[in-house]
Amino acid sequence: MITVYIVEDDEVMRRSLCERMRAHGGFAVDVAVGTCSEIRAALKQGRPDVLLVDLGLPDGSGLDVIAEAATRHSGLAIMVITVFGDERRVVGAIRSGATGYLLKDDPTHEIGIAIRLLLDGGSPISPAIARHLIRLFQPAPPDASRSAADGKLTAREQEVLALAAKGFSYSEIAQMLNLSANTVASYTKHIYEKLAVGSRSEAIYEASRLGLLDRG
């Protein structure tokens, strides 16, 4: 069995990760907690095969957890699962010791397969993050001066995107915000247009890169 520790403050996402891994088979989720202090205590008591880390935690940064875990347990397989894809967090996570980086809404990576790839020496990375890393080493095109203001979302659009980033479906978002499904679809269309993207995962990545999700 592959032992997994999870630190994820969103209870719905934490439960979903546990269920998805158990359904995949071959995994034992020994620890699933929501704070830095809890995962630090767990890592003092034992060493998992894989550590899954959210970056936005209520009592600190997941980046610190990654650095401490990598120091305490040399060679530990660490993978980030987050909504944040901005340069500071991506580069910081990799430098701290993470070897995988997935966005929560990434449909291209099944969590169980991604973990096995990680343990086999691979580095599962969401396509949007991979493109971002590639762009870091390429000269910026002349028209690449768009600022966060150019992609500014309204308060309601930001609310819709924040819920989407947490993994809720559009029908669930409609119920939570007391809106019709058509209205949520309209907001989503406007979000895509403003951020110049064509999918939910790209919208979450771009909004995170521009710092728009940080405000929600």
Provide the pLDDT for residue 145.
Answer: 42
The partner residues of 81 in beta bridges, in order of sequence, read 102
- What pLDDT sits at residue 28? 94
Mean pLDDT of the chain: 86
At 181 the pLDDT is: 87
Q: Locate the domains of the chain by residue range.
A: 2-136, 148-215
Among 61-65, 128-132, 145-149, 170-174, whose mean pLDDT is lowest?
A: 145-149
* Predicted pLDDT at 11: 92
From residue 140, give the alpha-carbon distance in Å to each of 104, 167, 187, 197. 27, 32, 30, 18
Give the containing element (helix H, strand E) for 30: strand 27-33
**Topology at the third CATH level for domain 148-215:** Arc Repressor Mutant, subunit A (1.10.10)
Average pLDDT of 77-83?
94
Look at the block and give the residue holding tokens 């993050």: 129
Please tell me which residue, 74 or 87, carries the higher pLDDT value. Answer: 74
pLDDT tens digits along 92-147: 999 999 999 998 877 778 899 999 999 999 999 998 888 778 777 766 554 444 44
When pLDDT is cut at 50, 70 and 90, the band that residue 24 belongs to is: confident
Please tell me the distance from the alpha carbon of residue 181 to that of residue 31, in angstroms, as a whole number: 37
pLDDT of residue 141: 54
Average pLDDT for residues 169-192, to the nearest whole number? 89
CATH node for 2-136: 3.40.50.2300
